[in-house]
Structure 1
Amino acid sequence: MNKIKPKLIGVCMLAVWFVIVVAACSNQASDKTNQEGSREQQNQNEGGQEPQEVGYPEKLSYWVALNGNVSATMKSYNEIAAYQELEKLTGTKVEFQHPPQGQETDAFNLMISSGDLPDVIEHNWANVTRGPDQAIKDGTIIRLNELIDQYAPNFKKVLEENPEFKKLVTTDEGNIYVFPFLRGDEYLLTFNGLTIRKDWLDTLNLEVPETIDEWYEVLTAIKTGDPNQNGEQDEIPLFIDIKGTNLNLNNAFLGAWGITSMFYQIDGKVHYGPIQPEFKEFLTTMNKWYEEGLIDPDYAATDGKLKDAKVTGNVLAALPTYTGSGIGRYTELMKEQYPDFELVAAPNVVLNKGDRPLIGQKDFPFTGVGAAITGSNENPAETVKWLDYKYGEEGHILFNFGIEGVSYEMKDGYPTYTDEVMNHPDLPVTQAMSKYAIASFSGPFVQDRRYMEQYSALPAQKDAIETWMDTENDRLMPPISPTSEESSRYASIMNDVNTYYEEMINKFIMGVEPLDNFDSFVQTIKGMGIEEAIQIQQAGLDRFNKR
């Protein structure tokens, strides 16, 4: 027997060691491949199946605030004909959960903090603390981009055909987080502004005012001229709608100075309206009008019912209001007792005759309202398919116009509301419409211009939209998304600022606080950190512009 030399033994041992290492590496690579394949398969199971392999969910729990037009005649969205039809088409039974009216924000926050979430939450997510991106990170809601690509062909087409929509519904971090409420036409973005009694102006031989000075002259004439011809000086020339920081309906006045009551931009630079010198000029004007009795002395304590009573009592001359619930509704309410009643839109106010208005009222196609799928939803792909139905042609018609042959008829390709909606014997148009569709408020669908063309059918309403649209509005801020860190700090600052602002604005207008103290008011707001809040808004605007 030959002896094996030590050198040969060493070579053999090295070869065996090499085979073992290679095998081990191969096994590790195989395990990694299997893990990655498993992860890929899991991703496919969660959101990567072909659309035809996914059905509609059997049931969904759906949290949404109950719109006032619906609650006037119904207890739940389950009673709206469009949702009843959707259940027939998809087989999905929806349990709508409606928070107590007037307590929606508190109920939402309590629900989120509890972690006991429904499958879908319809809400204004732009106002959520720390923003929608953080809500995704926290697992409260889920990112929808990939699910939309694979299970929402209708909504995906809407975004592809409307890049502006996609920019608005996508966060700075690239997340799409809701099936949004989208106003589908420029015509739908402007719907409120200043109105005035044209029949009273005719009585006094006056024209619709355009400038601040003309408004002063007209309001003074109304106060002293007895335009309602009852022999009493009971006319209220102007009602202003100032609720906290919401001067939106008063932008038609405040906008004359080129500012708003919150944040606005000029050439991409953010400003805060109430600390500008122009805001003092606005307050000075409002204070003068108030002291001379041109503004309703009880404006701050006037709710919707009392405001209605002043209009229908034939004592209120001018007010900011809406095309539908204002011009249309008041015209209907007044036609029997006061057949000459004519409420018309006034242009957004300017300082100098012939100037083009800088700021009025205009919304963006998307402002944050939409249906998000929560992290508790066990069937996200099926839910996406269900939500997507509303963005297709049939769903679009269903949720804008309701049931064919009942709430609308198709005439020469135009979905035309029937008398059941437009001339209901017992209900105003908004409430009658809400029995069948959701076009008159909001939800996850694209609002149709043809709804507004019929809803605002009166010549005065159509003229109002065109009149209020005639403004620049490029200073208005888009719906921006602060980061989670910015959001917390911003909320802390603005809670203090808004509380102080709300306390002071009516005092300035009513003369309780001398306007000589305006500089002190500005310094107090600056001391609360408003300049940091401006920086946060600026950062958000810069990111938005880069989307």
Structure 2
Amino acid sequence: MYKGKHAISIIAAMMMVISLLAGCASNNGENAPVDSSASNPPQEEQKELLNLTGMPIVNEPLTLKMFATSSPFNKGEFKDVEMWETYEQLSGVHVEWDAVPGANVLEKKNLVLNTGGTLPDAFFKVDMSSLELTRYGSQGLLIPLNDLIEKYAPNFKKIMDENPDVKKAVTMADGNIYSLPYLVTATPSRLPYKMFVNQKWLDATKLQAPTTTDELYDVLKTFSDFDQNSNQKKDEIPLTSGHGIDGIINPLKGAWGLGNKGLSHPNVDVDPATQQLRFIPAEQGYKEMLQFLNKLYSEKLLDQEIFTMDLAKLAAKGALGQVGFSFATNNNLIGPENENDLVGLEALKGPNGDKLYFPLNPNTGAVGTFMVTKDNKNPEATIRWIDYFYGEEGQRLFFMGIEGETYTVADGKATFTDLVKKNPDGLSLNDVLGKYVVWGGGSNPSVAGDKYFGDQLIGDITRDAASKLMPYTPEEVWGPFAFSESDSTRIKTLENDILTYVKDMQAQFITGHASFDKWEEYVNAFNKMGLKEYMEIYNKTYEVYNK
């Protein structure tokens, strides 16, 4: 064995000498050795394939493989949606799509990331939580995007520079950015709950829209005493929501001064008196709000089915003309029979003078919507490709489709064509756009702003309702916190007990099955469930977020 190894060492040394001699010969330009890296150019040469600005993105055709989420909104194959051909011609980048229906994405995503096979170049419209981003980033499956954004994503970089909260939201606990987010800046879309009242009911009862919680009670009481739908039955439902009890609590919570950091953190905010974090469901104001809702429920002013309400039930009750107040995302959820009878309300002032409208989402509608993997050989071109959708032209393509077909531009304003608005075949707006764009279903790596989304796709009544509420929303809206992986796992374990208890007792108090005399008992139970540890984790992560 030793002799064999010695012989191999001598041969290796001889080969090194020959290699050096060949290197000297190549200086004379003769008999130069073949470059072994010719089939796999170094990074510098790869960058020469890339145009740093403008279009096309690459000087030679490039194919990327992406895993994507498809939705029922898409008409036909995901790969055949019209925007892709337009963008390929513009960018020089062709994408081979592995599009998976939304219901199957979680399972398929986990298989792709955890079986050790070759990964797609990127994940597109695939929602990943901060925990997943941290986990797969630390495992090296997803690559950090910090430097790539700095050098190759001017549109998204500008957004982060102008909106520090966006940068906070996408930066994980280890300091890395592993994803580009879905940004929602359209006002109506940031308010998932608007407050609507049936104007015909107000006119019939000669009432004004309420401005306080006391006035809301009075109007609801009056509504319940009138046969508003003229069917000689006492079947009117003064107040309901297609979003269940959350659709009632979230619009009203701010009237008791709760939820001053927005909807991403529905159970934790900052106590104005102490500037310390507080757990909302244990607060005195929360108790008073539940007492108000108990009063409405016990007097049948609040829908008796509120804990099982959904959008289908709301539409059914709306069709029968039973609904006075509806707290909902859009006025059209009440159904076509009465959707135009609704008007929006301002935030209601509570018994202690608070006039806060809590349920405002941050600009980051979803943190993880576009991720680049370790197997991507062209990350620079990939980041340039996705960054286009964070700019003006890209947003227009993403949400409105193809200029000259689905929209036109006049005096700087884009407007849908009659193909979309008054389709000659009677197709709905969604049916037409589903052939051209892929934004249906959410988790879009782009910016859904007023200009190309809100003003184009959201009706006047809903937009007006949102505009009435916005002046009363929180001054500071927290984005999602990037808990460390261990803290995230722990806080989810604690939440499983704590928040299940909150929901259960919420229903018990509102329906009267639990007495408010037991409130202290209720609050003390949180300590046995680990609320102190829960808040310690929250405080630690908040300090990092707030830096």
**What residue in structure 2 maps to residue 348 of structure 1?**
347
- Displacement of 1:202 in angstroms is 0.8
Asked whether 1:171 is paired with 2:178, we answer: no
Asked whether 1:436 is paired with 2:436, we answer: yes
User: 202-211 or 380-389: which moved more?
Assistant: 380-389
- The residue identity in structure 2 corresponding to 1:358 is L
**What residue in structure 1 maps to residue 373 of structure 2?**
374
Aligned to 1:98, the other structure's residue is in SS state strand
**What residue in structure 2 maps to residue 363 of structure 1?**
361
**What residue in structure 2 maps to residue 485 of structure 1?**
486
Asked whether 1:263 is paired with 2:268, we answer: yes
Q: Distance in 1 between matches of 2:257 and 2:42?
A: 51
- Displacement of 1:457 in angstroms is 4.1
Kindly report which structure 2 residues correspond to 1:508-527, keeping only aligned pairs within 5 A, or say none: 508-527=509-528
Contact 2:121 2:372 in 1 (8 A): yes
The verdict on how the C-alpha distance between 1:106 and 1:530 changes in structure 2, with shifts beyond 3 A counting, is farther
**What residue in structure 1 maps to residue 233 of structure 2?**
232
- Displacement of 1:83 in angstroms is 3.1
**What residue in structure 2 maps to residue 304 of structure 1?**
311
Asked whether 1:471 is paired with 2:478, we answer: no
The verdict on how the C-alpha distance between 1:183 and 1:257 changes in structure 2, with shifts beyond 3 A counting, is same
- Displacement of 1:270 in angstroms is 1.7
Contact 1:236 1:317 in 2 (8 A): yes
- Displacement of 1:347 in angstroms is 1.9
> Residue by residue, what CA displacement relative to the aligned partner does 1:414-440 show, whole Å, maximum 9, x if unpaired?
111123333446455455444433566
- Displacement of 1:412 in angstroms is 1.0
Q: Distance in 1 between matches of 2:431 and 2:516?
A: 44
Aligned to 1:381, the other structure's residue is in SS state helix
- Displacement of 1:377 in angstroms is 3.5
Aligned to 2:296, the other structure's residue is in SS state helix
Q: Distance in 2 between matches of 1:83 and 1:249?
A: 41
Q: Distance in 1 between matches of 2:165 and 2:528?
A: 37
Q: Distance in 2 between matches of 1:186 and 1:273?
A: 26
Aligned to 2:300, the other structure's residue is in SS state coil
- The residue identity in structure 2 corresponding to 1:492 is T
Q: Distance in 2 between matches of 1:144 and 1:88?
A: 26
The verdict on how the C-alpha distance between 1:221 and 1:63 changes in structure 2, with shifts beyond 3 A counting, is same
- Displacement of 1:481 in angstroms is 0.9
The verdict on how the C-alpha distance between 1:290 and 1:75 changes in structure 2, with shifts beyond 3 A counting, is farther
**What residue in structure 2 maps to residue 8 of structure 1?**
none
- Displacement of 1:213 in angstroms is 1.2
Q: Distance in 1 between matches of 2:432 and 2:292?
A: 41
Contact 1:47 1:147 in 2 (8 A): no
Unaligned stretches of 5+ residues in structure 2: 1-36, 260-265
- The residue identity in structure 1 corresponding to 2:444 is G
> Residue by residue, what CA displacement relative to the aligned partner does 1:82-113 show, whole Å, maximum 9, x if unpaired?
23432443341331432453x65566556544
Q: Distance in 2 between matches of 1:168 and 1:528?
A: 28
Contact 1:211 1:349 in 2 (8 A): yes
User: TM-score normalized by structure 2?
Assistant: 0.80
- Displacement of 1:161 in angstroms is 4.8
User: 287-296 or 51-60: which moved more?
Assistant: 51-60
The verdict on how the C-alpha distance between 1:100 and 1:401 changes in structure 2, with shifts beyond 3 A counting, is closer
**What residue in structure 1 maps to residue 395 of structure 2?**
396
The verdict on how the C-alpha distance between 1:350 and 1:46 changes in structure 2, with shifts beyond 3 A counting, is farther
Contact 2:166 2:479 in 1 (8 A): no
- Displacement of 1:514 in angstroms is 3.0
Asked whether 1:314 is paired with 2:321, we answer: yes
- The residue identity in structure 2 corresponding to 1:391 is Y
Asked whether 1:60 is paired with 2:65, we answer: yes
Asked whether 1:284 is paired with 2:273, we answer: no
- Displacement of 1:185 in angstroms is 5.8
**What residue in structure 1 maps to residue 419 of structure 2?**
420
> Residue by residue, what CA displacement relative to the aligned partner does 1:323-350 show, whole Å, maximum 9, x if unpaired?
xxx214647x12xxx69x5111122222
Percent of pairs with identical residues: 27
Please provide the CA RMSD for this pair: 3.2
The verdict on how the C-alpha distance between 1:198 and 1:479 changes in structure 2, with shifts beyond 3 A counting, is same
The verdict on how the C-alpha distance between 1:522 and 1:419 changes in structure 2, with shifts beyond 3 A counting, is farther
- Displacement of 1:114 in angstroms is 4.0
Contact 1:348 1:471 in 2 (8 A): yes
User: 224-233 or 429-438: which moved more?
Assistant: 429-438
Contact 2:187 2:454 in 1 (8 A): no
- Displacement of 1:58 in angstroms is 0.9
**What residue in structure 1 maps to residue 404 of structure 2?**
405
Q: Distance in 2 between matches of 1:266 and 1:206?
A: 36
Unaligned stretches of 5+ residues in structure 1: 1-37
Aligned to 2:238, the other structure's residue is in SS state strand
The verdict on how the C-alpha distance between 1:251 and 1:171 changes in structure 2, with shifts beyond 3 A counting, is same
- The residue identity in structure 1 corresponding to 2:406 is S
Q: Distance in 2 between matches of 1:42 and 1:273?
A: 57
**What residue in structure 1 maps to residue 530 of structure 2?**
529
The verdict on how the C-alpha distance between 1:507 and 1:114 changes in structure 2, with shifts beyond 3 A counting, is farther
Aligned to 1:394, the other structure's residue is in SS state helix
**What residue in structure 1 maps to residue 502 of structure 2?**
501
- Displacement of 1:536 in angstroms is 1.6
Q: Distance in 1 between matches of 2:133 and 2:536?
A: 20
Contact 1:237 1:296 in 2 (8 A): yes
Contact 2:360 2:473 in 1 (8 A): no
**What residue in structure 2 maps to residue 455 of structure 1?**
457
Q: Among residues 98, 101, 106, which one is paired with 2:100 in the alignment?
A: 98
**Equivalent residue pairs, number:** 488
The verdict on how the C-alpha distance between 1:525 and 1:215 changes in structure 2, with shifts beyond 3 A counting, is same
The verdict on how the C-alpha distance between 1:107 and 1:257 changes in structure 2, with shifts beyond 3 A counting, is farther
- Displacement of 1:205 in angstroms is 0.7
The verdict on how the C-alpha distance between 1:236 and 1:499 changes in structure 2, with shifts beyond 3 A counting, is same
The verdict on how the C-alpha distance between 1:141 and 1:253 changes in structure 2, with shifts beyond 3 A counting, is same
- Displacement of 1:387 in angstroms is 1.5
**What residue in structure 2 maps to residue 272 of structure 1?**
279
